[in-house]
Amino acid sequence: MARDRSSTRRRAGVLAAALTALTLTGALTAAHAPVATKSELRRTQPKGHDVSSHQRRVDWHTARAKGARFAYVKATEATSYRNPYFTGQYDGARRAGLIRGAYHFALPNRSSGAAQAAYFVRHGGDWQADGVTLPPALDIEYNPYDKHHKCYGLSRSRMVRWIRSFSDEVRRETGRRPVIYTTTNWWTACTGNSRAFAADHALWIASHGSSGPGRLPGGWRYWTFWQHGTKGKLPGDQDLFGGSTTRLRAFARGR
């Protein structure tokens, strides 16, 4: 995913067996994830996508007809930006029968994790155990506004503290830990490949153009969502869930 301003942004048998080994987060084990090809994963696991203001008015019914079963919608960035299309996109996804959730684009150099989390929850990042709302998600990745400060000028320890602050506030306000969206390279560079979040945060791994999500960061043994491309049949970025549709609904309910 990216900034959202107007100027930018082994086979079938083994796979079936792997899907029975899902954790309570609904994620596929890292040991099995790379074994199946991307096309096999696409045939057997729920497809989804994530959108922002770049996609504007999404035809959600068409997206569902093309296979979408879930979506994440960008809600906020830092503490000063709200996606002007958020309400239409978020509500539209639900009306079309998709399980949907909201995500926040982190700018850790602008304000504290707690402040950004509170802003996010107030403007769309809330959660309820209704089976159709995905937990809030934190999009934390390379700084799109300053290529010379990819880690936003924060040391690795400060970055870990910032993420923890964000997570703690989201949990305090919603009752759930956020899903963490990131790349292995960024996580390694900017958190020192911290293992502090793997035990209680679902992973949304971004890895494009590959047959599997590859090496996972920071102690995570499982991925819950995999963003495997920026273009495809669905509007926005292309995602997969690491389990069955039933598991997806359970994950949404917090089970």
Which residues make beta-bridge pairs with 74? 103
By the 8 A CB rule, do 173 and 126 touch? yes
H or E stretch covering 49: strand 47-51
Q: Of these residues, 4, 77, 139, 141, which one is catalytic?
A: 141
**DSSP state at residue 145:** S
**Catalytic annotation present for 168:** no
* Amino acid sitting at position 134: L
By the 8 A CB rule, do 79 and 116 touch? yes
H or E stretch covering 160: helix 156-174
Distance (Å, whole) CA 42 – CA 210: 13
**Catalytic annotation present for 141:** yes
User: The tokens 């978020």 sit on which residue?
Assistant: 90
Which has the closest alpha carbon to 204: 155, 238, 161? 238
Residue 55 Cα distances to 5, 34, 49, 68, angstroms: 12, 30, 11, 15
* Angle value at C-alpha 171, between 89 and 73, nearest 5 degrees: 15
Would you name the residues annotated as active-site residues?
50, 141
